[in-house]
Structure 1
Amino acid sequence: MSVLLSACGDDGGKATGATNPSTNNTTDETSATSEADSETGPSQQTTSGPTGPEPTTTAPASTSDGTTTEASFITPPDGGGGAKECDQWTQDCPEGQKCMPYSGDGDNAWESLKCTPVMENAGSVGDPCTVEGSGVSGIDNCGKGLMCWDVTEGVGVCVSLCIGSPDAPDCAEPMASCLISNDGVLTLCLPFCDPLLQDCPGDDLCIPNPQSPDAFLCVLDASGEEGQEFDACEYINACDKGFTCANPQVALECDAMAIGCCVAFCDITEADVCNGQNSECIAWYEMGQAPPGLENVGYCGIPQ
């Protein structure tokens, strides 16, 4: 499935991204396909490795300053393609410049790549940052190989772009996972998190990485007014904190005709934690397959 991110609004806005749920395997709560290419950046295919519900990957758009508002964060590719003047994987721009995603068609989604100046005293990973013009301008004061992300009121944080290649993406930081979206234009190294603790900063959500079933990462909240338990969803990040966009077949309360449905994460060691009829806390991973620290992660659903 694919992922796509977008920014919308003005400098005071907050960019959001969403990934839409999709149903692949029986363990596909991390997979989804997005369809809001005009709303967010690049898209990427998600896979489901765990036994969790099958999610989708579409998203709303983010604000013009790179923050999230009513737009999507993870959305499907539009099948088109913006201008790609450089390669963000190899950073092949001239000295003093960096290859950056930007919006070249006037909307709030990253669909193109271009070389932009590396500012003096450029920021490192985790440093506060600012953007020039808007969050999709491609111009910021982060260092080479970095991007100003999650901008609110004109200020964001520098995050790394992925390293490696589209076929073998990686992150230089040990506690981050590569998320590829917007037809491969947006490649972000986002921090790991715990879906049971929902320990991401601010309003960010902790959800499965559509491209890596062994990783949960922090993404922008694209739920808006919806996103409560059993609400319909089209994106992985279109549910409130503590929920994930899954295959609607996992709960009787879900709309069976919807693309996805918000269901709760749960701790498999705790009893009677699920609200749905006939629902139980089902282990996200097959026995013995959970990464360290995620052994107790589950989701509320009807055992199949």
Structure 2
Amino acid sequence: MRADLFVCSGVLIVGLMAACRGDVITPDAGTGTDSGVFRDGGTSGVPDPGTETGCDVATQTGCAAGAVCLRGVLSDGGLGTLCFSGECDPVAQNCPEGNRCAYVRRDNVTTRRCIPASTGTVTEGGACQSVTTAEGDFHDTCAPGLSCTDRSTSSGGTTFTCQRFCHSGEQCTAPLDCIDVLRFEGSNERPRVCGTPGSACDVLARDCTDSRGCYPSPKSGGVCVTPGTLAEGEPCAYVNDCQEGSACVKNGTGLVCRRLCRAPSGSPGCDSGQTCQGLQDYPGVGVCVR
């Protein structure tokens, strides 16, 4: 599997919590490193394409009652945050007693449904599989709050293990972070699970040794992950939606790509008229703001 900050002060906040005041900038909750789960296979027949509201996945705010804010496929084919209807929330596990919230596929369409908790017993990190019911439903064998995901091995094979659903890094046990993004056949939803961060790097030196980019991670410092393509100033959802050398940060109510810089000054620097506002927990690192 290809498994992607906060104190109230004058510096830019690095964390998964809400800002204490409007002028605090917050790098986004996690990196979007797309894992491609074993149920992957396209988005034909999607039951709920999602509603674009600019909701916040980490805090689960901005959606109507009963809806879940998730990363998803936008109408133009891009990715962003959307409000999705459905029976339940896989993180909150808000099904009636004796049930679990799981992604269930039938006829090439995958939805979040409440199914008997007894259908999933494998704990976090355990080996899992997909099973079929007599009614034609496909679901995994993981315990409530977990999802069965695939991981490529060094020998070219594939293993399947249960990983914990998450909306933010606070729901993961260190050193795991809320960074693995799942895809499901017949669904626009891109939920996340707790995964292992990539190799460490220097976000200003950009010293990843492969095609990945170096981005600030909520729990792991700089990590090498797949770089995004969004330019400075463009709206974003994950820290690595942005081009390498930038990060997705919150300024007020919106999330935008901002260029990384050496704080309070130095190289790399900012354009004329911009200042380098520091990132908390990242000494000497900031983003360019006006």
Task: Quickly name the TM-score band, shorter chain normalised.
Answer: 0.3 to 0.5
Structure 1-normalised TM-score? 0.45
Structure 2-normalised TM-score? 0.47
Larger Rg: 2
Greater strand content:
2
